[in-house]
Structure 1
Amino acid sequence: MADRRQTRNQIRGPHSALTDFLASNNISATQIHQNHQRRLREAEHQTTVEELENNIEEDDEYQHVGELPAEMKKRKRKEVVALVKIKQSKEFARRKARRMGEDGDEAIAREMMNERSQPLPGQLENCEACGKRFTVTPYSKTGSKGGLLCAKCSKALADDEKKTRAQKRGTRSGRRQNQSNLLDGLAQQGALSLVEMCTKKVADNINHIEEFGDLPSQLLHRLSQILCKRRVLTPRTLDLFLRPGLNSIDIYDAAKLETHDFEKIFAFMPDLYRVNIRFAGQMKDKVIEYMLGRNRKLKDLQLDAANLVSDTYWRLLFQKLGPRLESIKLSNLDCSLDDETIDVMCRSCTTLRRLKLKQCWKAGNNSLQAISSLMSLEHLSLNWVQDVDNEILLGTVSSVGPRLQTLSLEGFSNPNDRLLEAVHDNCLALTKLRFSHNANCTDRGFVRLFTDWTNPPLENVDFSSMCDMDNTNPEGPADAIGLASQGLVALMNHSGSMIQKLNITSCRHVSRSAFEEIFSDEKMYPHLKELDVSFHTVIDDYIVGRMFRCCPKLQKLVAFGCFNLRDIRVPIGVALIGGPKAQAPIIPVVDF
């Protein structure tokens, strides 16, 4: 039985006579196939070796002087075998894929072979380029003939490679510059104007320029803007702007200027009547004293961050130049300009038409009372730090309001609807109104402000951050706080025909239906150029599309925090800032 089972297990099916013959003589068909493939590979390898030997013999670069024929043949054989192994390695395949066909297989293989045969870090080697003896480091570069380069030659090779890559890539406008232009409200289409290109080229080479010559004042102003934005306005570059024939100067970033540089401005330009200097941190008392001794024609003065000027010299300035000053703009003063100094300014500057005080920490209620005595004031801009009495603020607005053309109130968090009523009753010639960062005025107050208001339509309106500040109640109270739906509708009904700039940032209680009503098919705002609707969560692609249709001259739309914007198409010439896809290219819209 055991023999029968064993015989049964060995049954495999029918066999040909040839199969039985091969099996009886211990011959395997698989082995025959493997031997055949091995002979083919050996023949291919031998052919490759012979071709490489022929190439090496024809190339004089690899001939060694004084080498015997037997040594040369042995060396060539080793090189051929090494190159064949390298071509079969994974590193060779990766390097070939990275170079994308820039170099041939032979060049890549020889480069890898030379790298393997190079001296280790710490050993001495002669530089391929200059022949200098140097110590090999892991950062030593390989020359064109396979040898190593010293540190100086390696740096020169790296510089040449950078120049070659830059020339190959060509000039291009980066995303960072495009976004910078958008934040400035520029949606440039096509090439820049010749004047703008030349101005930027001058700014790029400012350190090699000795003088500007007879450039017109508008180009000097543009150059000052570019240099200050790049923070490269230094005492040397300042000298380029000091021309005795000019009567105005604009320096938007004087952070790198010293005290004597400010004195130099008034020494070289004695006929200045307009001075605008920002970030004047090193302007001191002696600069004011020097200016008063040299310049008596000043009419327009704007200084920022001049904290080293004491109250004594501020008062001296107002007393000596007061009768001629028509515009005063002072900002970011935390150590001087107290109530008494502002009182001296208001009593001395009897012809003052424009006043701007921004972030002056020492100014309080007495300063507001002093400002109310300015009978010739036409433009008033206040950004207050201290809390003030509402009655004093109402008295100031009632006193100077009838003559005002622009009114800007920032940082006044306590006033309520009574301030809006004072504006409605007393301000009848405004073209610009800014009232921001307040959580006490109601939507009904804004409706009453713009209802039956005899003031002409406003051109510039800023009601940013006028909303209820309770973050736990995003919908707001039942009686809407700040600028809400009805107030915005009343605003656009009153001033929509002439409005040019509108800022309603963070007025979060404006509903979607209010935006749909304002930007409906029958509405048109022919002069609106700049619109800021940041942090309105109801804004989406449809509403923004309606904005583009109703505002044919729109140039700048700010939409930070409007996360429902997805695939809005932006017309040519419009800068969309802050949208989730603001980095996407501007898509031209031909037909609305």
Structure 2
Amino acid sequence: MDTAQSLMSRRPGQRSHVSGPNSALTEFLREKGIDTSGIQALSSARARARNEAAHRRSVAALEAAAAQAAEAPEIGEEIDEDEEIGESSASAARRKKKISKDEDNDEEMLDVEEEEEEEPVRTRRGRASRATTKIDLKVVGKRKRKSTTVKDTESEFEEIEEEEIVTVRATRTRKPTKAQLAKKKAEEQRKLEEDDEFNPDNFLDPAFRPVPGQIAFCAECECRFTVTPYSRSADDGEGLLCHTCGKKGAPAEKAARKKKQTTRTNKKSAARAILDGDTSNVKSLQEICINTVAKYIDDVETLGYIGSHNVDKISQIICKNRRLNGETINLFFEPAEHVLRFYDCSGISSDSLRQIAAFVPTIRRLHLNWCGLMKDECLDYYGTQLKQLTSLELYGAFNVTEECYIRFFKNVGSRLTEFAVKDTSRFKAAAVEALVDNCPELEVLRLHTLTFIDDECVRLLTGLPNLKILEITDSQASIKDGPIIDCLNTFGPGLSELTLNGCKDLTDATLDAIHSSCGRLDILNLDEVDLLTNDGISKLFTEWSLNYGLKELSFRNCTNLQSSGFARIIDHSNRTLEKLTINRCKDIEKDAWTFLQEFTLPELEVLDISFVRCVDDAVIEGILKVAPELKTLKVWGCNKITEACALKEGMLLVGREADILA
């Protein structure tokens, strides 16, 4: 009881010494020695600035209304002043209630005003004239008007004194003509084109932007409205627009956004076409039909006989879209088909793959990529049922065991002339030995990304004297020069393609064996063979009279290649080169390109000089002069090439930074 009396006896201005619990943020700031009084002062200053800005806008609106009323001629019947002043208290209460209700439903009134062509202005007593209406507004005495801000109540407007009657005449506005609307729309479109990045929502200074829920005056029509998160700023940045005025510019802004999105989509499509090597702007009728069939492949009942080339195109498209499955694969089963290529078999079961041999027993060449679901039973069925099979490529068949490969080589025997296997750890030395013993007529062998291909496996390949194409790429085991040299001494004179990408332990001794043995070599790929030196490459192409010239050459990421070695390459194979890759050969200097101007490369179609830092616009223009048939030029990482570089029509330039950043 005493405590209650003491609490009741405390004066209103007296402050209690009892404090409540502090928040985690307050405790953190106190521990870090941060004073929150400065933050509170800054917040109060910003609030005062917002209120002052709102006050200035409201005063400016009142002055503009007064100036407009003073200039307008008097038409119509005036409202009796005594009747206005002597209005009954009941009428005043009803009017006050009506005004309050109108302010609460401000948004709804704006929507109605947008749909109507024109609406008569109401007087204080609720009467409206059809033609014109004069309204007398009289403010008697002094009155204090508080801020229209709902959230911030710290500041108040100054006292407003009005001692004269302001006469405001409201007249009907004519509906704008079509020419006026078209002119206004063209002006808005011109403004949008001048500044595509203009965003009205971000134009107003956030420090002076009213928060949602406040009452503000429209910067265009000067009507009162409630601010929402979607209120737009005026074009000049002074104030906000009401719902009606904000919707006027919506169609133009929507068209601008759509245009910008279309431009972005077109750029992405153009970049995708460049990476895919598609330079044709207009597709042929055949390509359109193939794309349509591939798009609705699930609804196609049969493909019929449309040619192996078109069937392969459809297979590429649906495999790229991941739509090859156990049902769509049946469309490719033609009894008289000799070649089948499926580029993504990840969604096809082993039983569905087995149906290939059941429905197309006459097949000769079979290519299956990413066939991870294939099992031993499927490959055994191929070996026994495909009596005409001469070429088989299996990529990603990691479930097929080594014993199954041995049985398959025994079944197909000497009729197998091409074999390729990729991405498996079960193809080992025993399988290689069975391949060499049972398939002596083998001409093409591709061993790509295999775990256990080592020197022993490579040395076994000397039992294939008819081999014309050899590819050993990215072996996980170490491969030395000795076994490769033995193979080149055995079948090197008849070898037309040699690919040893990723064999990092090879040295210049392999280049010497190629120089002395491979006279018919057309394609040489030695990517990422780090131990090759510039002297060894120069020696390979110096006085190599045994070889007439290479058609394809790749030294990607052979960082020791220099300008002198590049000059020997051009001196030897400039007349025959069709594809040249010197990607990341950073030591090639500008004098090499000056030396290139003395030759002509009449057959060169693809050139990759990415990350050769000395390449600039002058080098590109010089290459175009000596290579008239050049179609694709890759320049990734060559940051000295600008948009001013002159290119010939029809050539594809891939990787220019100016195109990527545009």
Q: Residues 333, 483 of structure 1: CA spacing in aligned structure 2 closer, same or farther, 3 A cutoff?
A: same
1:488 pairs with 2:594: no
Is the aligned partner of 1:461 residue 2:539? no
CA distance in 1: counterparts of 2:614 and 2:515, whole angstroms: 30
1:419 alignment partner AA: T
Aligned-partner SS, 1:323: helix
The structure 2 residue matched to 1:377, chosen from 467, 474, 496, is 467
**Counterpart of 2:594?**
516
**Match of residue 582 from structure 1:** 659
Map 1:516-535; keep pairs closer than 5 Å.
516-518=594-596, 520=597, 522-535=598-611
Distance in 2 of aligned mates of 1:573 and 1:37: 65
Q: Deviations over 1:64-123 (max 9, x none)?
A: xxxxxx99989xx9xxx9x999854512333212323999xxxxxxxxxxxxxxxxxxxx
Query: How far apart, in 1, do the equivalents of 2:318 and 2:64 lie?
Result: 79
Distance in 2 between the 1:562 and 1:419 partners? 31
- Deviation of 1:220 after TM superposition, in Å, equals 0.5
Q: Structure 2 matches for 1:4-403, cutoff 5 A?
A: 37-40=68-71, 87-89=221-223, 90-91=241-242, 92-100=244-252, 174-188=266-280, 190-334=281-425, 336-383=426-473, 384-403=475-494
Structure 1 position 32, deviation (Å): 13
Preserved contact between residue 481 and residue 509 of structure 2 (Cα < 8 Å):
no
Contact 1:385–1:411 (8 Å) recurs in 2: no
**Alignment check: 8 A CA contact 2:616 2:640 kept:** yes
Amino acid at match of 2:270: N
The residue that corresponds to 2:519 in the other structure is 428
**Aligned equivalents of 1:206, 1:184: Cα separation in 2:** 22
Say yes or no: does 1:552 pair with 2:625. Answer: no
2:637 and 2:524 mapped to 1: Cα distance?
25
Against the structure 1 CA distance between its residues 333 and 96, is the aligned structure 2 distance closer, same or farther, given a 3 Å change threshold? same
Structure 1 position 349, deviation (Å): 0.8
Equivalent-residue separation in structure 2 for 1:456 and 1:33 (angstroms): 91
CA distance in 2: counterparts of 1:505 and 1:411, whole angstroms: 15
Closer/same/farther in 2, CA of residues 551 and 241 from structure 1, 3 Å limit: same
- The alpha-carbon deviation at position 392 of structure 1 amounts to 2.1
2: CA distance between counterparts of 1:297 and 1:192?
Answer: 37
Alignment partners' CA distance in 2, 1:60 and 1:532? 66
**Residue-by-residue CA offset, 1:263-308 (whole Å, 9 max, x unaligned):** 1111111111100010111011111122223212110111100000
Q: CA separation in 2, counterparts of 1:221 and 1:72? A: 81
**Partners in 2 of 1:233 and 1:43 — Cα distance?**
82
Deviations 1:186-236 (A, max 9, x none): 222x31122112211222222222211221111111111111122222222
2-structure distance, mates of 1:445, 1:556:
29
Q: How far does residue 380 in structure 1 lie from its aligned partner after superposition?
A: 0.7
The alignment partner of 1:331 has SS state of strand
Which has the greater radius of gyration?
Answer: 2
Change (3 A) 1:487 1:212: same
From the superposition, tell whether residues 506 and 88 of structure 1 become closer, same or farther in structure 2 (CA, over 3 Å).
same
What is the identity, as a one-letter code, of the residue corresponding to 2:461?
A: I
Instruction: For residue 440 of structure 1, report the CA deviation from its aligned partner.
Output: 1.5
Query: 1:351–1:45: structure 2 CA closer, same or farther, 3 Å change rule?
Result: farther
- Residue in structure 1 matched with residue 21 of structure 2 by the alignment: none
Amino acid at match of 2:395: D
Q: Distance in 2 between matches of 1:320 and 1:44?
A: 110
Structure 2, unaligned runs of 5 or more? 1-61, 78-111, 119-124, 133-169, 174-216, 224-240
Q: Does 1:445 align with 2:536?
A: yes
Does the C-alpha gap of structure 1 residues 268 and 44 become closer, same or farther in structure 2, counting only changes over 3 Å?
A: farther
CA–CA distance in structure 2, aligned partners of residues 242 and 34 of structure 1: 83
- Change in CA separation of 1:556 and 1:227 when aligned onto 2, cut-off 3 Å: same
Q: Which residue of 2 aligns with 1:570?
A: 647
Q: Which runs of 5+ in 1 are unaligned?
A: 1-30, 47-55, 63-69, 104-164, 468-481, 586-592
Contact 2:574 2:599 in 1 (8 A): no
Q: Is the 8 A contact 1:515 1:543 kept in 2?
A: yes
CA gap of 1:333–1:43, structure 2 versus 1, over 3 A, is farther
**What amino acid sits opposite 1:510 in the alignment?**
I
Q: Aligned equivalents of 2:317 and 2:396: distance in 1?
A: 21
Counterpart in the other structure of 2:637: 561
How far apart, CA to CA, are the structure 1 residues paired with 2:246 and 2:66? 31
Aligned-partner residue type, residue 564 of structure 2? Q
Shift in CA distance, 282/38, structure 1 to aligned 2, threshold 3 Å: same
Q: Which amino acid aligns with 1:533?
A: I
Q: Aligned in 2, Cα 1:42/1:320: closer, same or farther, shift over 3 Å?
A: farther
Measure the CA separation in 2 of the matches of 1:211 and 1:170: 37
SS at match of 1:350: coil
Give distance in 2, aligned partners of 1:247 and 1:235.
20
Contact 2:440 2:463 in 1 (8 A): no
Q: TM-score, normalised by structure 1?
A: 0.70
* Cα distance, 1:173 vs structure 2: 7.3
**Cα distance between partner residues in 2 of 1:265 and 1:424:** 44
Corresponding residue SS for 2:399:
coil
Name the amino acid aligned to 1:322. Answer: G
1:254 Cα offset (Å) = 0.9
Q: 1:507: which partner in 2?
A: 585
Aligned mates of 1:34, 1:302 — CA distance in 2: 85
- Tell whether the 8 Å contact from 1:353 to 1:376 is kept in structure 2 after alignment: yes
Question: Equivalent residue of 1:250, what SS?
Answer: strand
Q: Which amino acid aligns with 1:321?
A: V
If the length of structure 2 is used for normalisation, what is the TM-score?
Answer: 0.63
1:340-373 CA distance string (max 9 Å, x none): 1111111111100111100011111111011122
Alpha carbons of structure 1 residues 450 and 549: separation in structure 2 relative to 1, 3 Å: same
Distance in 2 between residues matched to 1:102 and 1:466, nearest whole Å: 52
Query: Given the superposition, is the C-alpha separation of residues 43 and 406 from structure 1 closer, same or farther in structure 2, using an over 3 Å criterion?
Result: farther
Shift of 1:381: 0.9
Distance, in Å, in 2 between the alignment partners of 1:98 and 1:261 is 55
State whether residues 635 and 656 of structure 2, in contact with CA within 8 Å, keep that contact through their aligned partners in structure 1.
yes
Structure 2 CA distance for aligned equivalents of residues 348 and 101 of structure 1: 73
Q: Is the 8 A contact 1:365 1:388 kept in 2?
A: yes
